[in-house]
Every structure is written in structure tokens, then in C-alpha cells.
């Protein structure tokens, strides 16, 4: 656990305990929540004395463990809880307060508030107890002569900014020996600006960081300043890697706790940053300025500090979670003097880093600018490609090694651009993934492939044989309609599901293994076959691999290349084949180009192969002419 992380717990606190006299007490925290008889008294939260129940007879100490239960509740509660005595010394500061206001408990409790979050002391603040004696009457409801009052005031974040807060504060004892306590939260004015006034800074309610609107405003000011004088501006955009997996496997409350912990570490690593903000979701921003034009070095140093800070696990939901980030950096160079363009450039660099596998940093430069323009042009043209019938399918045979018989084909999409000719799938598939166009394109590919195989089957004189393999992308796996889409296409085309094999890459499966497992199980119930593609290029967990409902494992071509050349490569392929067979899977070797490779695969007991040794991907008509209509007959 990182020293800057507080304990984390549920999104709200709500519990019931039994008091010293057997009475059941309800404990609730949240916006405007507090406590009174029927609720624990404010004095019950001090760690150096027993809990106090305040009534007309004065305080009474509970020796039955109430303090331990109350303190446990405070430690689990995400809402800030503060208690200050009449001398201005902080008695309680829970983890919620640590996360919201930056001060650690050890820096606050037992010290004068004038040294920390209330520089001016308690004078003229709600933390001055009233002069009358008892303030919480037995049975009184909050806000009705019980000393419970809604108060608004300002306190200072550890980072130095002033935060407007409000809450229901309760008093115990008298002005000479009492205390004031309660749950507080950033006020609506602090969160979104007073009355929507754009001149009032806005803040992210979850993390307490400045929000996107405040960052954009500050970035605009910085760009304007350095457009008129020498100097530079740098924007850093961080996107947490595999954050969705935390949300899906551990729940959104735990995901929120992780975001709060990460926000704290980013603030601690801020250094020379003008601003660290939450962009939205699992993305964060940092802004740097330098009067002599070296903002890039400041941003680079910040990124290194962040990498060190995130190397330590975060304790959330009782579990240690390791988190890393893909980082994009953009500078106001190349004549960039527009806020939106700077943010767009940082985002493009971040996606470039994520595309390299995550946990890396990319800086937007001239080559990336050209690449971004190309991707924008490609995406624009791709929108029209389907309706203009520019997409087509090619098919590559899948051959049974024993007997060298064609038993199926893999469908591969191609794009015949009217001006650029045949566009490489390595160029347009990533664009389709990023833009979401892969969803309609993938559905079109699946339907075309099923129709084509069905057509071949109908031309056979005997019972139809052979299958067709279609790739599913990571974006399609995430699509909540993917199972319904497959079912509907099978119904429309009439293709028996056992003749369809859906291929998912290893990296797509392991990106969010728990979520992918549920999708694969649902697809398996439809009756299709499932294959893991490009095996060996990702980071498969064998414990997950044995639970995925797979039928086929496809060995990546990068391993097949070494057969007959590298003993080490042969040892790896042999081990993978044995592993797959032990799991009950058939094995397809991809990228087979020589008879020597085929011979080695045959000696290892590999089941199937595909590659240029047999055929390059061909249009349906050429596949039919070369291998006969009865694929697999």
C-alpha cells in the first residue's frame, strides 16, 4: 500500500450498532448526514478517549467496544469526517478527509488546525462550540434544537488551494470542554461554480482535483500567454491501463476508490505542474509552462515521478491492485496555439502509447501529426466504404496436415479504395477499432462469410462439410450485442453454428479476461466453435486459459518461422502443441510457407495449418476454382 493512500471502503456508510444501554443506534453518513441520540455523539470519534453519549446528565464512557466499531466505520467511510475541540486542536480526521483534502491523519490529529487546514484558527468558523452547556438532547432529531446545524465554510487543501465545504456539524459539551464534529463535503459552489459562473473554478467531486472545465480554462490562459512571449506549454494526458478490468471484476465502488488513490499519487508527484486535473473516467491531465521554452523537460520529469508512484500497489477492496498508465504528451509547437488541438494531440499520443501495449509514453511530433491526419482521412473514407461496396472478403484455406486436405477457410476483409487501390488491413483495421466502425464492419464480414459458406454447402452433393473462421476484435467482444448479433446472422443465413469458428486474439482475451470469459461462454451456448488466435504474442494466464471454453488454438506465425532453423523455436512450438492437446484443443499453425515447416509440424502432431505454402488469401471464386466448391468434402 502506498503511504499516500488512505483506507478505502464503501461508497456510503450506513450501519446499525447497539449502544451501552442496549438501544439500537443508526449510523449514516452522506450529504447532510449527521448523528444524534439514535446516532452516536460527535465525541465518540476521538481515538484517544472513549466514545461519549451526551445528554442532560453529561458525558458517559462506553466500555463495551463501541469505540472500536465506530472508528472502524469511520475508517471505511469515504465521506470526510472532522472533529475539533474548543482549543482548536483536531481530534479526528478520517481517511475520507485525507483523500478529499490531502492532509494525512498524522499531520492533523493532535495539532492545532491553524497549522493545517484552518490557517486562521477556529475563530469565526463553525468549530467554535456554543457557550451554553448541553447541546444534544436525548431523542432530538438533527436540525431541531439539537445543536445540529448546516454550516458552510472554507478550509485549505494540503496543495494550498481553498475549498468551500458544507455539512451538518454537531457540538458536544460546553464552550470550555466541548468539541464540534460532523461529516462535510465540497459544496455545490465548489464543485460546479457558483450559479454556473464560469469565473469560479470547478472541481471533480470524486477525487477533489480540478475538473476538465477548469483545466481547459487554465490551458487556454497558458497558451495565450506563451503565444505572445517566448516559452512553451506542455499537456500530459494519462489513461489508466486495464482499469475496466477492475470495474468489471471488483465493482465500480472499488474502481472509484482506485481513482481517488491514483489522484492522490498524481498530486504528490505534481512537482512543477501548474495543474493536475481529472479529465474524466480513468484519464488525468497535467499542465506545464516554462518561460524559456523547456516545458517538455518538466513534463518528462513529472511522468517519471508518476511511474515511480504507480509502481507501488494500491490497496482497494481488501486487495492489492497494480496500476499503470499510457501517457501522451503534447507541446504548443508546430504552430499549435489552440486549446482543443493541444488536447487532441495529447490524446493521439496517449492512444499511440496504448497501442504499443500500454505502460509507455509517447510525445506528439511531426511524424505523429502526419499519422493522425492519415488516420482521420482513413476514418472518413471508411465511413463510406460499406455503403459504396468497397469492402470485400478473401479466403485462405485451412488444411489438415495428415492428408493435406482443405477442411475450412478463414475469411479476411479487404478494402478496394476507389483512389488508393487495395488498402492494407494493417492500416484500416486499427482505425476501425478505434472509431467503433469495427462493429458494423465486423457484422457485415460475419454475414458475408456465413452466406458464402452456406452457398458452398448448398452446391455439395453430399452432407455439407467444412467450416469458416471469422475474427472478432476486442471492440466486438466489448459490444453488449455481440451474442445477439451472431445469433441473428446465423438465423438469417441458415448456417449451422457448428460450421462457424470465431477467432479472438490472445491480447483481446487477456485485456479483460473476466469479462471475455462471460462473452465466450454465451457464444459457446449458441453452438459456434471458438479459437484463440496469435497464441504466444500476448500474456495469457494458464489458469484463465484452462477455463476459457475454447476449441482451437492457433500458433502465431512468428513461432512457425523458426521451425527447421531454430531448436529453441521448435521447442516452444512443440510445448505449445502439447499444452493445447492436454487442454483438449486442436492446433492450427499459422504462416506455414515451407515444406520443412510442414514436416516439423507433422512430427509434433499439429492438427491443422494455413499459409502461403498452400495458398494466399483469394476471392471466393478463385478459392472455389482451386480447391473445389465442396470445401472439406
Q: pLDDT digit string (tens) for 485-511? A: 999 999 999 999 999 999 998 878 877
Please indicate, yes or no, if residue 632 is contained in any of the structural domains.
no
Q: Is residue 452's pLDDT more than 90?
A: yes
Same domain, 140 and 265: no
Q: Which residue has the higher pLDDT, 166 or 421?
A: 421
Residues 94 and 154 both lie in one domain? yes
> What pLDDT, on a 0 to 100 scale, did the predictor assign at position 195?
42
pLDDT score, position 80: 86
Q: Report yes or no: 572 and 580 within 8 Å, Cβ to Cβ.
A: no
Instruction: Give the percent of the chain with pLDDT over 90.
Output: 35
Let me know: does 448 contact 393? Beta carbons within 8 Å: yes
DSSP string, 581-601: HHTT-EEEE----SHHHHHHH
**CATH number, domain containing residue 413:** 3.20.20.450
Quick check: 28 and 39 in contact, CB under 8 A? yes
Residues 178 and 50 in one domain: yes
**Helices marked H in 162-294:** 188-192, 212-228, 243-250, 252-268
Instruction: Quote the pLDDT of residue 519.
Output: 94
Highest average pLDDT, of 37-46, 108-117, 156-165, 571-580, comes from: 571-580
pTM of the full structure: 0.56
Residue 607 lies in a domain: yes
In a domain, 378, yes or no: no
List of residues 6+ apart from 490 with CB closer than 8 A: 450, 496, 497, 500, 526, 528
> Of 132, 157, 186, which one is at a domain's C-terminal end?
186
* 379-418 pLDDT per residue, tens: 889 988 988 999 999 999 999 998 878 889 999 999 999 9
Split at pLDDT 50, 70, 90, the class of 336 is confident
pLDDT tens digit string along 477-486?
A: 999 999 999 9
User: Exposed/middle/buried for 209, CB within 10 Å: 0-12, 13-18, 19+?
Assistant: buried
Alpha-carbon distance 142 to 40, whole Å? 12
Task: State the pLDDT confidence band at 159, using cuts at 50, 70 and 90.
Answer: low
Q: Same structural domain for residues 140 and 264?
A: no
Q: Which of the two residues, 84 and 30, has the higher pLDDT score?
A: 84
Euclidean distance between CA atoms 317 and 303, whole angstroms: 27
Confidence of residue 626 (pLDDT cuts 50, 70, 90): low
At 159, list the grid cell: 496543495
Taking the C-alpha atoms of residue 163 and residue 100, their distance in angstroms, rounded to an integer, is: 10
pLDDT at residue 144, as a whole number:
37
The per-residue pLDDT for range 26-63, each reduced to its tens digit, is: 333 333 333 333 333 333 333 333 333 333 334 444 44
The cell numbers describing 573, all together, are: 512450438
Same domain, 235 and 145: no
Domain with residue 355: its CATH number is 3.30.70.270
Residues 409 and 319 in one domain: no
CATH of the domain at 143: 3.30.450.20
Q: For residue 115, give the nearest of 96, 151, 90 by alpha carbon.
A: 90
pLDDT confidence of 465, banded at 50, 70, 90? Answer: low
Spatial distance between the Cα atoms of 505 and 513, rounded to a whole number of angstroms: 12
Q: What local confidence, expressed as pLDDT, does residue 538 receive?
A: 57
For the segment 318-333, what is each residue's pLDDT rounded down to a tens digit? 888 889 999 999 988 7
Band of residue 542 on the pLDDT scale cut at 50, 70, 90: low
Q: Check: CB of residue 306 under 8 Å from CB of residue 285.
A: no
| Least confident span in 61-75, 287-301, 314-328, 467-481 | 61-75
Asked if pLDDT for residue 271 goes beyond 80, the answer is yes
Name the percent of the chain lying above pLDDT 70.
77
Segment 352-390, tens digit of pLDDT: 888 787 889 999 877 777 777 788 888 889 988 988 999
Q: Are 76 and 70 in contact (CB under 8 A)?
A: no
Per-residue pLDDT, 591 = 94
d(CA 591, CA 611) in angstroms, rounded, equals 4
Q: Are residues 352 and 447 in the same domain?
A: no
Has residue 332 been placed in a domain? yes
Angle, helices 482-493 vs 513-526, to 10°: value is 20
- Boundary residue ending a domain (119, 153, 186): 186
Do 546 and 523 fall into the same domain?
Answer: yes
How many helices, marked H, and strands, marked E, lie in the chain? 21, 26
CA atoms of 156 and 272, how far apart (whole Å): 20
The answer to whether the beta carbons of residues 158 and 263 sit under 8 Å apart is no
Same domain, 202 and 102: no
Quick one: 563 and 590 in the same domain? yes
604 inside domain? yes
Top mean pLDDT of 197-206, 209-218, 488-497 is at: 488-497
Q: How far apart are CA 335 and CA 232, in angstroms?
A: 11
Do 231 and 295 have their domain in common?
yes
According to DSSP H, which parts of 142-211 are helical?
188-192
| The pLDDT of residue 28 | 35
C-alpha to C-alpha distances, 414 to 74, 254, 417, 521, 533, nearest whole angstrom = 59, 43, 9, 30, 19
CB 171 within 8 A of CB 178: yes
Domain membership of residue 267 (yes or no) is: yes
| Residue 147 main-chain phi, psi, to 5 deg | 85, 0
232: domain range? 196-364
Domain boundary among 364, 379, 404: 364
Q: Please tell me whether residues 488 and 532 are part of one structural domain.
A: yes
Nearest in space to 282 (alpha carbons), one of 309, 265, 263, 264: 263
Query: What are 622's three cell numbers?
Result: 478463385
Count: domains in the chain: 3
Residue 633 placed within a domain: no
In a domain, 522, yes or no: yes
Amino acid at each position: 500500500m502506498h503511504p499516500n493512500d488512505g483506507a478505502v471502503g464503501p461508497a456510503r456508510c450506513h450501519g446499525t450498532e447497539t449502544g451501552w444501554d442496549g438501544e439500537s443506534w443508526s449510523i449514516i453518513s452522506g450529504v447532510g448526514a449527521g448523528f444524534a441520540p439514535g446516532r452516536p455523539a460527535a465525541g465518540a470519534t476521538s481515538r484517544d478517549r472513549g466514545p461519549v453519549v451526551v445528554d442532560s446528565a453529561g458525558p458517559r464512557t462506553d466500555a463495551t467496544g463501541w469505540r472500536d466499531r465506530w472508528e472502524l466505520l469511520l475508517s471505511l467511510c469515504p465521506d470526510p469526517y472532522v472533529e475539533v475541540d474548543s482549543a482548536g486542536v483536531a481530534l479526528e480526521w478520517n481517511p475520507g478527509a485525507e483523500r478529499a483534502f490531502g492532509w494525512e491523519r498524522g499531520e492533523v490529529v493532535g495539532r492545532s488546525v491553524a497549522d493545517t487546514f484552518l490557517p486562521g484558527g477556529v475563530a469565526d468558523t463553525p468549530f467554535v462550540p456554543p457557550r451554553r452547556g448541553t447541546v444534544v438532547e436525548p431523542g432530538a432529531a438533527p436540525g431541531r434544537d439539537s445543536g445540529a446545524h448546516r454550516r458552510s465554510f472554507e478550509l485549505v487543501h494540503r496543495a494550498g488551494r481553498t475549498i468551500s465545504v458544507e455539512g451538518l456539524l454537531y457540538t458536544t459539551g460546553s464552550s470550555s470542554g466541548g468539541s464540534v464534529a460532523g461529516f462535510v463535503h465540497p459544496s455545490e459552489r465548489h464543485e460546479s461554480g457558483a450559479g454556473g459562473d464560469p469565473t469560479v473554478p470547478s472541481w471533480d467531486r470524486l477525487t477533489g482535483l480540478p475538473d476538465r472545465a477548469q483545466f481547459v480554462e487554465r490551458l487556454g490562459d497558458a497558451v495565450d500567454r506563451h503565444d505572445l512571449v517566448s516559452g512553451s506549454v506542455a499537456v500530459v494526458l494519462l489513461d489508466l491501463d486495464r482499469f475496466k478490468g477492475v470495474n468489471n471484476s471488483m465493482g465500480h465502488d472499488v474502481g472509484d476508490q482506485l481513482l481517488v488513490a491514483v489522484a492522490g499519487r498524481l498530486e504528490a508527484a505534481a512537482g512543477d505542474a501548474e495543474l493536475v486535473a481529472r479529465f474524466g473516467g480513468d484519464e488525468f491531465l497535467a499542465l506545464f509552462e516554462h518561460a524559456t521554452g523547456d516545458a517538455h523537460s518538466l513534463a518528462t520529469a513529472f511522468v517519471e515521478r508518476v511511474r515511480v508512484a504507480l509502481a507501488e500497489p494500491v490497496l482497494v477492496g481488501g486487495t492489492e491492485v497494480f496500476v499503470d498508465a499510457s501517457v501522451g504528451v503534447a507541446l504548443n509547437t508546430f504552430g499549435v496555439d489552440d486549446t482543443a488541438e493541444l488536447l487532441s494531440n495529447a490524446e493521439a499520443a496517449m492512444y499511440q502509447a496504448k497501442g504499443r501495449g500500454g505502460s509507455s509514453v509517447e510525445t506528439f511530433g511531426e511524424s505523429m501529426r502526419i499519422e493522425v491526419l492519415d488516420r482521420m482521412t482513413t476514418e472518413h473514407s471508411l465511413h463510406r466504404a460499406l455503403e459504396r461496396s468497397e469492402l470485400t472478403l478473401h479466403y485462405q484455406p485451412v488444411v489438415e496436415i495428415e492428408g493435406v486436405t482443405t477442411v475450412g477457410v478463414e475469411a479476411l476483409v479487404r478494402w478496394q479504395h476507389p483512389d488508393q487501390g487495395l488498402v492494407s488491413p494493417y492500416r484500416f483495421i486499427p482505425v476501425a477499432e478505434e472509431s467503433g466502425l469495427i462493429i458494423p464492419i465486423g457484422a457485415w464480414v460475419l454475414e458475408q462469410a456465413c452466406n458464402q459458406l452456406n452457398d458452398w454447402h448448398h452446391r455439395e452433393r453430399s452432407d455439407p462439410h467444412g467450416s469458416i473462421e471469422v475474427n472478432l476484435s476486442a471492440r466486438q467482444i466489448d459490444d453488449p450485442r455481440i451474442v445477439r448479433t451472431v445469433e441473428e446472422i446465423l438465423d438469417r443465413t441458415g448456417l449451422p453454428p457448428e460450421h462457424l469458428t470465431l477467432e479472438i486474439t490472445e491480447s483481446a482475451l487477456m485485456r479483460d479476461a473476466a469479462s471475455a470469459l462471460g462473452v465466450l461462454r454465451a457464444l459457446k451456448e449458441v453452438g459456434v466453435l471458438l479459437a484463440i488466435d496469435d497464441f504466444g504474442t500476448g500474456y495469457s494466464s494458464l489458469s484463465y486459459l484452462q477455463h476459457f471454453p475454447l476449441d482451437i488454438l492457433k500458433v502465431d506465425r512468428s513461432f512457425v518461422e523458426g521451425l527447421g532453423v531454430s531448436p529453441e523455436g521448435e521447442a516452444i512450438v512443440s510445448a505449445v502443441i502439447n499444452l493445447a492437446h492436454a487442454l483438449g484443443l486442436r492446433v492450427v499453425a499459422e504462416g506455414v510457407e515451407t515444406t520443412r515447416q510442414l514436416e516439423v509440424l507433422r512430427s509434433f502432431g499439429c492438427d491443422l495449418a494455413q499459409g502461403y505454402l498452400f495458398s494466399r488469401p483469394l476471392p471466393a471464386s478463385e478459392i472455389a476454382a482451386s480447391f473445389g466448391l465442396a470445401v472439406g468434402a
